[in-house]
Structure 1
């Protein structure tokens, strides 16, 4: 059995995947790259064995997966790559439409929570590509941008009001926010436990390498981006790759609010890989 490993196609996972993809850490994975929404679908359909995925994917289908321990992706404040970019102050967005990236599930749900609990507004939503809309000359009232697109658009002159959803969550709860987790398909686990244990250990080893070589990662990422080394290091230093008690508390708080707002049927227990 060759392990089918999902990789989010954003810079934020570079610290974990670079040592795997460059051969610094031995592995025999078949890597499938895509945006979070696509990987969520592949996992839901059983087409990947282990993958990075939106944290909401585990909340929706906890019976299908185990969580990989000790590795996640989130923030304890500003995340810089999940932004609500607006032409108006937040409270003036009520009744207007927000263009939401089609690549996100978790951030879109988080936005709805923040609108209700932090800003007290109700808006409409349109799904699409912010970059494509702006290139055509369209100017939505507000844009929810994630990943590399958010990094590239964050200083767009037509959007003077910028709201970092990681920072807004900390303002609301005082907790870290976990945007992404790594999931193991339970059906794959039943077929090949030893290989999946090896895969999880390898991912954690990749995370340890990446965190301990962060200056090198910043330089590599900056070379492939419009950001400077300094901006890229600021970005990576704001990310959290741990999945300890505080991060788990933040994730459960997210699930509790999703349920309270009718976006999740039940608050799942966190079941980690045996």
Structure 2
């Protein structure tokens, strides 16, 4: 039986996957499936996957069933450049207005709701829409896009564009963690060796891509034509891929606010973290 792993199909997680030797991982019984966050979140929760990069909110919803793989995250202390609210009016004028939400991720949707209600004291009317900015703004006052969808539209001719990572940091002084890696607790014993290999591989991929200042990734993304090399330099410079005490503090505060607002059924006072088994496989890529 294989270890089925979910990969978020967004650029911000690419350092963990860019240098993976996928054929070698398959030989170790590790199969990787790629999709948008919402689908990966659902697949891990349903048991179709045993490990995955998931939205932070999805961990909060299912924390009794998951453990976190350490030393891996997607966070920022300020601008993130890929979680953008596009609005026809200033953000503090959105009371009662219609805001279109992306269907792609739960973390950012709830982050936006927290920012608007707790920080700006406004409560719009929300509606989920497919991530198409032009269509969203045809019938809504504002629209939320995330990931590559947001990057593609970052220069759209819209009066007001807000970076949610920046707004969160300005109000809390804490980093925001958008994604982390989780493993189902019911797979920990039966898939111990595969989980060890997976963790080592993800970590090595990140360290290799970061060691050259993300130059290889930046050139690869530039060739795809979504943005310039200078943008990708700025983009990865802003991201945090290694958790710290501050990123954990920020994430737990996010969970606390989500619980207080009724978005989460249970409090999440701490992160349950995976620890390698004593018989760690020395995996060489």
Scaled by the length of structure 2, the TM-score of the pair is 0.90
Partner SS, residue 274 of structure 2: coil
Alignment map for 1:1-274 (pairs within 5 Å): 1-20=1-20, 26-28=24-26, 29-131=30-132, 134=134, 138=138, 140-157=140-157, 159-213=158-212, 214-268=214-268, 269-274=270-275
- Structure 2 residues not aligned, in runs of 5+: 276-285
In the TM superposition, residue 136 of structure 1 has moved relative to its aligned partner by: 8.9
CA displacement, residues 108-165 of structure 1 (integer Å, 9 cap, x when unaligned): 111111011221111011111232x6269825210110000000112111x1201110
Partner SS, residue 20 of structure 2: helix
In the TM superposition, residue 31 of structure 1 has moved relative to its aligned partner by: 1.3
In the TM superposition, residue 190 of structure 1 has moved relative to its aligned partner by: 2.4
Number of equivalent positions: 270
Shifted more, 108-117 versus 187-196: the winner is 187-196
- Structure 1 residues not aligned, in runs of 5+: none
In the TM superposition, residue 196 of structure 1 has moved relative to its aligned partner by: 1.1
In the TM superposition, residue 197 of structure 1 has moved relative to its aligned partner by: 1.7
Partner SS, residue 103 of structure 1: coil
Partner SS, residue 63 of structure 1: coil
Partner SS, residue 4 of structure 1: strand
Scaled by the length of structure 1, the TM-score of the pair is 0.94
Q: Is the Cα–Cα contact under 8 Å of residues 136 and 143 in structure 2 kept in the other structure?
A: no
Aligned-residue CA RMSD (Å): 1.6
Q: Is the Cα–Cα contact under 8 Å of residues 90 and 160 in structure 2 kept in the other structure?
A: yes
Distance 2:63 2:226 in 1: 38
Partner SS, residue 248 of structure 1: helix
Shifted more, 96-105 versus 224-233: the winner is 224-233
